[in-house]
Amino acid sequence: MNFPKRIHINEVGPRDGLQNEKQILSARDKADLINDIIDSGVKTIEVGSLVHPRAIPALADTDEVYKLIDKPEGVELRVLVTNVRGVQRAIDAGMKKVKLTVSASESHNLNNFNRTPEDSVKGFRECYDLAKSAGLDVSAAISTAFGCPFEGDISMEQITPIIDAFVELGITELSLSDPTGMANPKEVREKSAYVLEKYKDITWNLHFHNTRDMGFANILSAMSVGMTRFDAAFSAIGGCPYAPGASGNVCTEDLIHMLHEMGIETGIDLDKSIGISRKVTKLVGHKTDSYLLRAGKVSDVIRERPLKQTLK
């Protein structure tokens, strides 16, 4: 099985991780975490979301957080938006990239937005035009692409019209997301191979949760057909409202460790990533699902052994 030589990891902990935490961090703490992430070598970070404060109270200060972040060249800082008001907030805060999102599940999308997925994407035209007119880059995500708590399996026949609508809009970077942790390696391999072949001009990202302990298997399966960009969250924080108590996002430091052990480059300092994770656990006030924080790196358990005595 052939794997890519290098993998690009997008850190989504500041958004998809912290939004699920009961402990709401200060803008300064969030910005310090993001600055640490930048220092570790991560090149793409999802800073937060610009939605109504009542919708996600933990991220209500994303505008302020952004202003406190160091902004070196070569680091992409993106923010999730759902409407024109969010785009305008991004422009006012001096942000450079926004991400739009829609659900592949019609039931899920109707439940949240009272629109079909295709109608939601068409409604993003105003968002896209406003962002581009202000010089912002725009990417998008298709949620529940691997399963829906309302509909169950989600087929490529459901996903393809949404991709086509985004392409028509002008989007060139798309994510397929599994927030409910329903994906399996066979499905991931098939869908990844399909979109890579059919939409060669799209930059693809995959977003998995480790809800049922298949997140890393899904990543390996996607890598085997050429996917190279994956979301992950520091210390594995996050979760899903449809699976209370379940694991959250794929863990950043665990993913980096696995890839480095396989000889695959990430450009990220693993020890610094582990340090960030330790800091996160203190800030949120509880243990997390990071395996490296429990067991350490493989290299940590290797000890010098005395030479075996020759048997007489």
Active site residues: 240
As a whole number of angstroms, the distance between CA 47 and CA 33 comes to 10
Structure tokens at 305: 């052994």
Secondary structure (H, E, C), the chain: CCCCCECEEEECHHHHHHHHCCCCCCHHHHHHHHHHHHHHCCCEEEEEEECCCCCCHHHCCHHHHHHHCCCCCCCEEEEEECCHHHHHHHHHCCCCEEEEEEECCHHHHHHHHCCCHHHHHHHCHHHHHHHHHCCCEEEEEEECCCCECCCECCCHHHHHHHHHHHHHHCCCEEEEEECCCCCCHHHHHHHHHHHHHHCCCCEEEEEEECCCCCHHHHHHHHHCCCCCEEEEEHHHCCCCCCCCCCCCECEHHHHHHHHHHCCCECCCCHHHHHHHHHHHHHHHCCCCCCHHHHHCCHHHCCCCCCCCCCCC
